[in-house]
């Protein structure tokens, strides 16, 4: 079924979209004011990730970082069958050990950029999110899944292991024992189990996933970009440091939000019973 969101993917109106038109494996589109979508676009191979795809993803993230109109980023895969069915096995088959290390490092560096972006990033997962697909989703701030989604780290079946962060992000998300089970067995996790485990935030019927993602994204465009960026940086950094240090970081970040203009606007709007509106973050280049 064609959703209103899918119809909007081709609303290319500005420079960012003109530049994005040069990509072969990625579609970048502005869906609504402030809401942009990256779509991995290799449906013939279920959106499997090869080197060119990662290079284009990096170039796409450069565009996103430089564009102050971007307030929320959605990440999805083309077609109904897959989000991303993993790293491209045909590409990986011919890699030497050294080339495999470089491919993994490049993938890790690319996926880590999603948590370094100042804007919220939401994965919309329809169908298969396997291997690199599961890892891509785990790199986003939230995961919304369709009721037909299927997650796994099946690398063990190829006699390799997750190379784009899965062995580490899955452990942080689910705990060591469960993550070990999933990485060692490579078993499929359907949406209902993914929800129970806390792997995904929400599950929707397949034909309403895009609408749900867009609604969530639109809601976030009305929040202070300054506060969202501070929350994102604080919570991602805090996850990997001891609690006492993380709490210090929280106090410093709390102070930073008081130093900004947005909290003045937001608190006054509360007292005036009016709706606050916030300017985009200024980009450096």
Span from 10-18, 56-64, 66-74, 124-132 in contact with ligand COA (CB under 6 A): 124-132
85 is an interface residue for ligand COA by CB under 6 A? yes
83 binds ligand COA (CB under 6 A): no
124, 103, 129: which is closest to 37 by C-alpha?
124
Span interacting with ligand COA, options 8-16, 51-59, 150-158, 167-175, rule CB under 6 A: 150-158
Residues 128-147 that bind ligand COA (CB under 6 A): 128, 130-131
Binding segment (CB under 6 A) for ligand COA, from list 3-11, 93-101, 126-134, 176-184: 126-134
> Which of 88, 82, 142, 93 lies closest to 114 in space, CA to CA?
142
How far is residue 12 CA from its own chain's centroid?
21
∠ Cα 38 228 171 (to 5°): 70
Residue matched to tokens 């709007």: 269
Helical segments of the chain, H only: 4-8, 15-20, 51-66, 89-93, 97-116, 132-139, 166-174, 176-185, 191-197, 209-221, 225-238, 243-259, 262-272
Of the residues 45, 117, 156, 180, which one makes contact with ligand COA according to CB under 6 A = 45
The smaller minimum CB distance to ligand COA, of residues 89 and 178, is found at 89
Examine residue 46 and tell whether it contacts ligand COA (CB under 6 A): yes
**Please, what is the minimum distance in Å from the beta carbon of residue 232 to ligand COA?**
28
- By CB under 6 A, name the binding residues for ligand COA: 45-46, 48, 85-90, 128, 130-131, 154-155, 158
């Amino acid at each position: 079924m064609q959703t209103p969101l899918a119809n909007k993917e081709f609303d290319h109106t500005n420079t960012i979209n003109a530049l994005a038109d040069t990509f072969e494996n990625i579609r970048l589109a502005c869906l609504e004011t402030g809401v942009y979508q990256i779509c991995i676009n290799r449906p013939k191979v279920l959106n499997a990730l090869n080197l060119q795809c990662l290079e284009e993803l990096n170039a796409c993230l450069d565009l996103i970082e430089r564009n102050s109109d971007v307030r929320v980023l959605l990440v999805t895969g083309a077609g109904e069958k897959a989000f991303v069915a993993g790293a491209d096995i045909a590409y990986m088959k011919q890699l030497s050990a050294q080339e495999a290390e470089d491919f993994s490092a490049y993938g890790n560096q690319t996926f880590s950029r999603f948590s370094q972006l100042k804007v919220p990033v939401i994965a919309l997962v329809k169908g298969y999110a396997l291997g690199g697909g599961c890892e891509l989703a785990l790199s986003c701030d939230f995961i919304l899944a369709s009721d037909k989604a299927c997650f796994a780290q099946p690398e063990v079946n190829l006699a390799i292991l997750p190379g784009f962060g899965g062995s580490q992000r899955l452990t942080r998300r689910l705990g060591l024992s469960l993550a070990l089970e999933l990485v060692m067995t490579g078993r499929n996790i359907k949406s209902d189990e993914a929800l129970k485990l806390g792997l995904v935030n929400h599950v929707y019927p397949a034909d309403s996933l895009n609408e749900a993602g867009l609604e969530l994204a639109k809601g976030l465009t009305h929040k202070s970009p300054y506060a969202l960026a501070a929350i994102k940086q604080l919570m991602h950094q805090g996850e990997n440091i001891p609690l006492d240090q993380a709490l210090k970081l929280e106090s410093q970040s709390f102070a930073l939000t008081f130093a900004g203009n947005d909290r003045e606007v937001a608190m006054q709007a509360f007292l005036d019973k009016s709706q606050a509106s916030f300017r985009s973050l200024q980009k450096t280049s």
